[in-house]
Amino acid sequence: MKNGNGTRRVVVTGLGVVTPIGLNVADFWSSLQAGKSGVSELGGFPLDDLKILIAAQIKDFDPKVQLKNYKRDKIIVHADRYSWFAAAAAEQAVVQSGVEFPLENPYRTACIIGSGAGGLTTFENAYRDLFIHNKRATNPLTLLRIIGSSASAHVGIEYGIKGPTFATCSACSTATHAIGIARDYIQNDLADVAIAGASESVINYGTMKAWQALHVLSPQGCFPFAKKRNGTVLGEGAGILVLEELEHAKRRGATILAELVGYGMASDSQDMVKPTVEGPRYAMQMALDDARIEASEIDYLNAHGTATKDNDINETKAIKEVFKNAASKLAISSTKSMTGHPLGAGGGIEAVACIKAMQESWVPPTVGLDEADPECDLDYVPNVGRAMKVNYTMSNSFAFGGLNAVVIFGPPPA
Amino acid sequence: MDEVATKIIDILKKHMKEPRDDINLSTALTDLKIESLDLAMIVFDIEDTFGIEIPYNANEDVGDFKTVGSVVDKVKGLMAAGPAAAKA
């Protein structure tokens, strides 16, 4: 069945997440419902002279347990942590989808799993070995752990995927670009099924120093849209979807969770850190036009909402320009108030939050929002989630460099 | 078997998916079902254990490593030559 544009329709049949507030969708959702924050004291490596001492780290992930079902890909447990997260989230999504991989024609499947930075912790450890411990060589697996396409390759090997398999890389928009590209491949008849999303795990000494030097991290917590906000908090994790062509899903009697109805992207082409209103506005409008719906039809918007001074004001302005009169009626929240900022993985985790919101008729809150910034004057669902009918949801991802990507999910086609 | 041989066989077993107890000096490496990545790990471990560097390129046939015994001989030769010789 084709949509009004005469194109193939793309639906979501599987969800998977690994987050600081839950290692699977059920636990993640319970944490969102409880307004639980994943931000905690930084640990797991020598902190030395670090000044920022909090992060939203995943502290209970055991790859031997989480990846015990990986059969074809024999070295996954030796891979970088970012690949572990991707692999675990992908497995959840695949199991939920019920798709039996490999497909009869494995060239009709895609695996697009991005990462903002790949295996940075492996990099750091290897360089510590070489430069500090004067080791004569790196571990032989170092290179494979580092490369930013290793997560997509590992998952692709496990599920026998022989079609388009690679990583996207657009900083904090990485996952949303991956999901959008996968949608396009299915829509354009290059694939019938795709595993798409992103994974990130970069919380280490060097990365913390680099972020610290940019002066955008909060020493206290991640409080999007709040007057008290003073920066973002680094997080980590993965968010992965199984996307499928509608008829393909119907033929095998799959449970369809949502339709991916719109995708938009635009680059500010302006500045590495100072966002424009125009870029995010264009990306949101493009996604709405693609979905052929009006802005007023969006019930819930999962904001990029990083809790930096610039992003939250800028995003609020862009939302107002796109939604006009409907902006004040729109339920908006930033789940980063609970997950921290999972960087490249953000859009994947937030896509899952959007789809769950539709299924559960409940939108997650923005926690820590005791007093809003006067310049952030929309409805950010402060502190307590809200039971409401959610027909269409929009998920915003905006990145350093001004790289904007937006997806819209709608109800399963009747 | 001497200490070098015992240590090398232990390293081989550590990296084998299905370690066997019947490995001896005449066992052919091809019988051990060692995959390319495992080989890289094995070479790395042997180098670390004996403080040597084994000149080897995964793109080339490795004539010196046909049997476990040939690996042991090669390692002993490199140890006698010292680390400088291995680099040359």
Q: What is the CATH number of the domain that holds A405?
A: 3.40.47.10
> Does the structure show a pLDDT above 80 at B77?
yes
What ipTM is given for this predicted complex?
Answer: 0.74
> Does the structure show a pLDDT above 90 at A33?
yes
Indicate the residue type of A192.
Answer: D
Answer whether A140 sits within 8 Å of B41, measured CB to CB.
Answer: yes
Q: Which of A220, A251, A282 is the last residue of a domain?
A: A251
Please tell me if residue A137 touches chain B, with a CB cutoff of 8 Å: yes
A231 and A266 housed in the same domain: no
Kindly state the average pLDDT of the residues A345-361: 98
- Domain span at residue B13 reads 3-87
Counting the structural domains of chain A, the total is 2
Q: Are A378 and A226 contacting, i.e. CB atoms less than 8 angstroms apart? A: no
| Among A172, A222, A354, A376, the one annotated catalytic | A172
**What pLDDT does residue B66 have?**
85
Q: What is the mean pLDDT of chain A?
A: 97
In a domain, A399, yes or no: yes
- Tell me whether residue A304 is one of the annotated catalytic residues: yes
A168 and A295 housed in the same domain: no
Q: B37 to chain A: which residues are within 8 Å by CB? A: 75, 140-141, 144
pLDDT band at A48 (very low <50, low <70, confident <90, very high): very high
**What pLDDT does residue B86 have?**
45
In a domain, A96, yes or no: yes
Contacts of residue A133, defined as CB under 8 A and 6 or more positions apart, other chains included, come to none
**What pLDDT does residue B62 have?**
65
Q: What is the mean pLDDT of chain B?
A: 85
- Tell me whether residue A172 is one of the annotated catalytic residues: yes
A87 and A201 housed in the same domain: yes
A244 and A270 housed in the same domain: no
pLDDT digits (tens, 9 = 90+) for A104-127: 999 999 999 999 999 999 999 999
CA dihedral A68, A175, A308, A376 (to 10 degrees): -120
> Does the structure show a pLDDT above 90 at B81?
no
Please tell me if residue B47 touches chain A, with a CB cutoff of 8 Å: yes
**What pLDDT does residue B87 have?**
47
Q: Pick the closest to residue B8 from B69, B57, B79 (CA basis).
A: B69
A328 and A403 housed in the same domain: yes
Say whether A409 sits in a helix, a strand or coil: strand
SS3 sequence of A180-223: HHHHHHHHCCCCCEEEEEEEECCCCHHHHHHHHHHCCECCCCCC
The CA distance from A103 to the nearest CA of chain B, in Å, is 27
A172 and A145 housed in the same domain: yes
> Does the structure show a pLDDT above 80 at B2?
yes
pLDDT digits (tens, 9 = 90+) for A334-345: 999 999 999 999
Please tell me if residue A139 touches chain B, with a CB cutoff of 8 Å: yes
Which residue reads 């080339």 in tokens? Answer: B60
A360 and A247 housed in the same domain: no
A83 and A230 housed in the same domain: yes
Of all residues in chain A, the one with the smallest CA distance to B45 is A139
Q: Which of A251, A279, A301 is the last residue of a domain?
A: A251
> Does the structure show a pLDDT above 80 at B65?
no
Q: Which of A221, A251, A281 is the last residue of a domain?
A: A251
Please tell me if residue B17 touches chain A, with a CB cutoff of 8 Å: yes
A137 and A59 housed in the same domain: yes
In a domain, A235, yes or no: yes
pLDDT digits (tens, 9 = 90+) for A236-268: 999 999 999 999 999 999 999 999 999 999 999
A and B: number of Cβ contacts within 8 A = 16
> Does the structure show a pLDDT above 90 at B56?
no
| Distances A235 to A46, A300, A368, A388, B4 between C-alpha atoms, Å | 18, 23, 17, 28, 47
Backbone dihedral region of A30: left (phi > 0), alpha (psi from -120 to 50 degrees) or beta? Answer: alpha
The CA distance from B48 to the nearest CA of chain A, in Å, is 9
A137 and A65 housed in the same domain: yes
In a domain, A2, yes or no: no
List, in sequence order, every residue forming a beta bridge with A193; answer none if it has no partner: A109, A244
- Lowest mean pLDDT segment, chosen from A319-333, A363-377, B38-52: B38-52
Cis peptide before A102, with omega less than 30 degrees from 0? yes
- Domain span at residue A355 reads 262-410
φ and ψ of A63, to 5 deg = -60, -30
> Does the structure show a pLDDT above 60 at B88?
no
> Does the structure show a pLDDT above 60 at B85?
no
- Rounded to whole angstroms, the Cα distance separating A240 from A243 reads 10
A110 and A230 housed in the same domain: yes
In a domain, A3, yes or no: no
> Does the structure show a pLDDT above 90 at A39?
yes
pLDDT band at A5 (very low <50, low <70, confident <90, very high): low
What is the number of H-type helices and E-type strands within chain A? 13, 14
More confident residue, A1 or B80: B80
Domain CATH for B34: 1.10.1200.10
> Does the structure show a pLDDT above 60 at A189?
yes
Q: B17 to chain A: which residues are within 8 Å by CB? A: 74
Q: Chain B interface, mutation test: which of A75, A76, A136, most B Cβ atoms within 10 Å?
A: A136
Answer whether B41 sits within 8 Å of A136, measured CB to CB.
Answer: no
Kindly state the average pLDDT of the residues B17-24: 88
Kindly state the average pLDDT of the residues A154-179: 98
In a domain, A257, yes or no: no
- Tell me whether residue A341 is one of the annotated catalytic residues: yes
